[in-house]
């Protein structure tokens, strides 16, 4: 792709390293939807039990993502990535030893803390390592690797759960996550720290060396060292207040489409009278549709801009959600599911890079972390819990009406409050009036 030709060989290597880390993470997250089916048979779970299991890792993600944003601004993006990957890989592998679903619930909550610490870091770091003309495309490719992991989880589930006894297969799926611990060592060795973060900490020589590897010929722009008064409260001061409000509504609304598909598609397929290995294969196929979607999105987001892609993809996803309950035949169900994933999940990288571009370097990790935290608490924990109850009480019509309504809210907020950020230089200095010496 021509956009990636503007990147150096080192930048492309860093992109692959960060993307692979996200692939490992998404496999871990995707396991929830896979193991729900055997868990229901083994432990006779109620709708409330299912909602708790689905929400457990996401609640952990919320607990991990917010402090991770603060710590990434203080300790560094790379250090947090490596530590988070090692932590959740160990906890996920230990889940293979869980004696019952209550133990799984607790371990998924713990693993979620590490997953949350990881989530905002690859695109925050790569946003700061990539040229302005490729930031959106980089986010799209990163997110495509996420979809590969979400595709591999049900695919592996279909193979393992049909080949092994019910009480053994799900344990093997969790045990595979130990590979993430080995990959943490690869990241520690080959992935660099953000030069902008290094410069903000006064480590100018290190920053300039990495900046040169980025192919830059001009000096690294001056970056604020974080003054004591810069904190999370800065996100709610001018000029960031409007941006934060927009993100805190739009991010969870749009992200919910992904959680609805990832966590509930196997259960929805069973409700549509699809059974056996077909459930996992169809669920994998539906998730796989987001891979080409994100690759196309990575091309469009640099040509059309962030706002048109976010609003357009989300509205189309909302319309498809309204149409989904009309499907009756398996191929129509899977086809509509794939279209919903193509637009409803493929929009996520545009939302993420749009989020990272809203804040200057010294509060970028904090801003992204807080937005991810709110997004995953509401869109990834609360809304899916409500959806589990909807699915049990109202069936597909009420469930997908709920998905569509939430999606339309997210699109309208971006349309009304969002400001385009494509191809603009990243902000390096805090612009809040109190730090610019203005009287409030």
Tokens of 33: 């939807």
- Judge whether 36 lies within some domain: yes
pLDDT score recorded for residue 438: 34
Report helix, strand or coil for 100: coil
The domain that holds 347 is classified in CATH as 1.20.1250.20
Distance CA 288, CA 152 (A): 9
pLDDT score recorded for residue 276: 64
Which residue range is the domain that position 249 belongs to? 2-435
pLDDT tens, 279-319? Answer: 777 877 888 888 898 889 988 988 899 999 999 999 999 99
- Judge whether 219 lies within some domain: yes
User: Is residue 415 packed enough to be buried (19+ CB in 10 Å), middle (13-18) or exposed (0-12)?
Assistant: middle
DSSP code per residue over 362-419 = HHHHHHHHHHHHHHHHIIIIIHHHHHHHHHHHTHHHHHHHHHHHHHHHHHHHHHHH--
pTM, two decimal places: 0.71
- Judge whether 182 lies within some domain: yes
Report helix, strand or coil for 220: coil
Distance CA 16, CA 303 (A): 23
- Judge whether 293 lies within some domain: yes
pLDDT score recorded for residue 228: 47
- Encode burial over 220-237: b for 16+ CB neighbours within 10 A, e otherwise: beebbebeeebeeebbeb
CB–CB of 237/433 below 8 Å? yes
- Judge whether 79 lies within some domain: yes
- Judge whether 64 lies within some domain: yes
pLDDT score recorded for residue 277: 63
- Judge whether 193 lies within some domain: yes
- Judge whether 440 lies within some domain: no
Q: Which residues of the chain are modeled with pLDDT < 50?
A: 226, 228, 432-440
Number of domains in the chain: 1
Dihedral (Cα; 348, 351, 355, 357), 10-degree rounding = 110
Neighbours of 395 (CB within 10 A): 12
DSSP summary character for residue 422: T
Q: How far apart are the first and last CA of the chain?
A: 47
pLDDT score recorded for residue 186: 95
């Amino acid at each position: 792709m021509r956009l990636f030709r503007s990147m150096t060989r080192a930048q492309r290597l860093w992109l692959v390293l960060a993307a692979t880390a996200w692939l490992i993470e998404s496999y871990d997250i995707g396991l929830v939807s896979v193991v729900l089916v055997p868990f229901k048979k083994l432990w006779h779970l109620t709708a409330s039990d299912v909602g708790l299991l689905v929400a457990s890792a996401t609640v952990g993600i919320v607990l991990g993502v917010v402090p991770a944003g603060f710590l990434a601004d203080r300790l560094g993006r790379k250090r947090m990535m490596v530590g988070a990957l090692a932590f959740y890989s160990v906890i996920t592998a230990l889940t293979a030893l869980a004696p019952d679903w209550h133990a799984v619930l607790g371990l998924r909550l713990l693993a979620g803390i590490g997953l949350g610490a990881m989530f905002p870091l690859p695109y925050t770091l790569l946003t700061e390592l990539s040229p302005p003309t490729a930031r959106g495309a980089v986010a799209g490719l990163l997110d495509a690797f996420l979809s590969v992991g979400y595709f591999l989880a049900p695919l592996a589930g279909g193979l393992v759960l049909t080949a092994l006894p019910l009480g053994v297969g799900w344990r093997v799926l969790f045990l595979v996550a130990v590979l993430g611990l080995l990959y943490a060592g690869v990241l520690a060795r080959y992935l660099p720290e953000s030069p902008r973060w290094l410069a903000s900490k006064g480590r100018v020589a290190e920053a300039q060396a990495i900046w040169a590897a980025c192919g830059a010929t001009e000096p690294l722009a001056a970056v604020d060292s974080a003054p004591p008064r810069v904190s999370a409260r800065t996100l709610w001061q001018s000029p960031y207040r409007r941006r934060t409000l927009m993100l805190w509504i739009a991010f969870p609304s749009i992200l919910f489409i992904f959680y609805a598909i990832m966590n509930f598609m196997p259960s929805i397929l069973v409700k549509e009278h699809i059974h056996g290995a077909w459930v996992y294969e169809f669920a994998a196929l539906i998730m796989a549709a987001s891979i080409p979607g994100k690759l196309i999105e990575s091309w469009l987001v640099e040509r059309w801009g962030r706002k048109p892609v976010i609003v357009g993809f989300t509205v189309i996803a909302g319309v498809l959600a309204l149409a989904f309950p009309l499907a009756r035949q398996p191929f129509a169900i899977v086809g509509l599911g794939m279209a919903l994933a193509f637009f409803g999940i493929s929009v996520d990288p545009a939302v993420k890079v749009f989020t990272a571009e809203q804040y200057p370097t010294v509060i970028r990790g904090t801003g992204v972390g807080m937005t991810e935290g709110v997004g995953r608490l509401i869109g990834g924990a609360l809304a899916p819990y409500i959806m589990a109850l909807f699915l049990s009480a109202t069936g597909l019509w009420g469930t997908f009406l709920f998905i569509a309504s939430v999606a339309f809210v997210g699109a309208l907020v971006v349309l009304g409050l969002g400001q385009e950020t494509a191809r603009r230089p990243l902000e390096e200095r805090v612009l809040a009036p109190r730090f610019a010496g203005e009287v409030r």
